[in-house]
Amino acid sequence: MRDQIVSDFLDTLARPAIPAPAGATVAALALAQAAALLSRAAGGDAEADHLTRHALRLAEIDAHAVTHDVPDRAQPAADVVAAAGEVVGVAERLLSTVDSAALADVSAAAEMARSSAMTARVAVEARHGALLAAEPDEVAERATRVTAAVRVGEGLLEGI
């Protein structure tokens, strides 16, 4: 997966007859992109770079769990939820440190992390047969605050 061309990955993903990665795998890939976007916004950030590699590895682990008989198939998806919280944490930290021109990217990354957390939550619940704790909701709330801060800072919410 790591070296696969995006169009080839999308073709594989679109074929329902082939055992292929599922929602949590895609969520982890989106999370890797979000972390990379944060690193870019910061002009390089060691934590964001680490999270990019970590999320990519989670995508590979989840894809393996989906296509093989793994004892706890829900764990990789749960790990994506936790990593999404870490990505939002980097976004929160960067709100006060990045150039104002990069704030839209910080918000975009937070929103991608929100989506990844919620998507992975569904995968955990489907694979585990039980509801996941409130962690994805907390990630979503924090991402909302990041986006609101960016919008206020850009004057987009004035008068609302």
pLDDT tens column, 42-98? 999 999 999 999 999 999 999 898 888 788 888 999 999 999 999 999 999 999 999
The pLDDT value recorded for residue 148 is 95
Segment 120-126 mean pLDDT: 91
Residue 106 CB neighbours (<10 A): 26
User: What is d(CA 47, CA 52) in angstroms, rounded to the nearest whole number?
Assistant: 9
Inter-axis angle of helices 75-94 and 103-128, to 10 degrees? 160
Question: Which of 9-13, 19-23, 112-116, 126-130 is the least confident region?
Answer: 19-23
The pLDDT value recorded for residue 159 is 44
pTM of the model: 0.89
Q: What are the phi and psi torsion angles at 74 (to 5°)?
A: -85, -20
The H-or-E segment that residue 111 falls in is helix 103-128
